[in-house]
Amino acid sequence: MYDRSYMTTSFEEKAKKTLIWIIGANIAVFVLQNIFDREGGPGYIGNFFAFHSDSLQSGMIWTPITYSFLHKVSNGLPLHLIGNMLGVFFLGRAVLPVLGQSRFLQLYFGASFVGAILWFVASFQSGAGSVIGASAAVFALLTFFACLYPDREIQLLLFFVLPIRVKPRYLAYVMLAISVLGLFFQELFAARGAAIAHSAHLGGMLAGYLYYKYVYLPNPHDNSGTISLSFAGLFKRSKTAKSSAGYSYRVNVSKETKDLKGEVDRILDKINSKGFGSLSANEKQILDEARDLLRKR
């Protein structure tokens, strides 16, 4: 078991590399913004990579995704970037091991796309010209995390000073209420468009909830990276733990003739390609038995 290179590096390390890539890309784009777009107006980066109300009409179909890498400067400080990247890091550390790399990226960029579309619809009323930032993805991660661990207490630093403990479900409810109120009173019916795109936040929360309910729940241990979402599935009840045993990989440890070494090799290959979070309870039991056998030798 332990002669493979990927067994010497934890899955958390692989998750950190994915988060570092996302955060590094956002920081790199922010630096480019400050190099090319400092003088008057959005400049080259903002014109071609932010999502504008006329981007789709102009054929810039990449902007509903690329806008999530751009951030603004507030009062001379990159608070927009710092806030979003802190959210990506802390929420991503909890969500990525559960989903695996492929499905995490599906959720992240899928939420960015849904946030852009809801903002686009709202822009007909608000008159807003463009949107940037990874907030939709962060709100999606928060919603998904709250669905996974609704009652697991977490500690936050209120105003970066006061430590408070809160359950994720209540934090998600508060952010939902703020976004809904902001949508109506600051974005849709305000004299001037809001600096905060509350519609994009709501789009991210919607994406996070739908991904949890209709993509993750039907087969939580399938980390193949494919999306199992069908129209008919929207009207089906979630499977109980008893009836959801039909995973992609089935292991029956009760058979005395089972080739334990072959099973361990297959499970380790699965961990290497899809992450530890993809294992079923039976597969984890196989690894525990193999580990016990090695210790006895």
CATH of the domain at 112: 1.20.1540.10
The pLDDT score that the predictor gives to residue 271 is 73
Count of structural domains, the chain: 1
Q: With respect to residue 208, please indicate whether it lies within any of the assigned structural domains.
A: yes
| Tens digits of residue pLDDT in 58-71 | 999 999 999 999 99
Q: With respect to residue 134, please indicate whether it lies within any of the assigned structural domains.
A: yes
The pLDDT score that the predictor gives to residue 40 is 52
- For 18, the domain range is 10-216
Q: With respect to residue 254, please indicate whether it lies within any of the assigned structural domains.
A: no
Q: With respect to residue 278, please indicate whether it lies within any of the assigned structural domains.
A: no
Q: With respect to residue 49, please indicate whether it lies within any of the assigned structural domains.
A: yes
Q: Which residues contact 179 (CB under 8 A, 6 or more apart)?
A: 139, 198, 201, 202, 205
Q: With respect to residue 243, please indicate whether it lies within any of the assigned structural domains.
A: no
The pLDDT score that the predictor gives to residue 81 is 95
Q: With respect to residue 263, please indicate whether it lies within any of the assigned structural domains.
A: no
| Tens digits of residue pLDDT in 227-257 | 444 434 444 444 443 433 444 444 444 444 3
Residue labelled with tokens 């795109």: 197
Answer yes or no: is pLDDT of 105 > 60: yes
Cα 194 from Cα 182, distance rounded (Å)? 8
What is the β-pairing status of strands 130-131 and 154-158? unpaired
Cα 166 from Cα 175, distance rounded (Å)? 13
Phi and psi dihedrals of 154, rounded to 5? -125, 155
For the ranges 13-22, 274-283, 284-293, the maximum mean pLDDT occurs at 13-22
H helices of the chain, in order, are 11-36, 43-49, 63-66, 79-99, 101-126, 135-148, 168-182, 198-211, 260-274, 281-296
Residue labelled with tokens 């899809």: 274
Q: With respect to residue 113, please indicate whether it lies within any of the assigned structural domains.
A: yes
The pLDDT score that the predictor gives to residue 222 is 61
CB 144 within 8 A of CB 211: yes
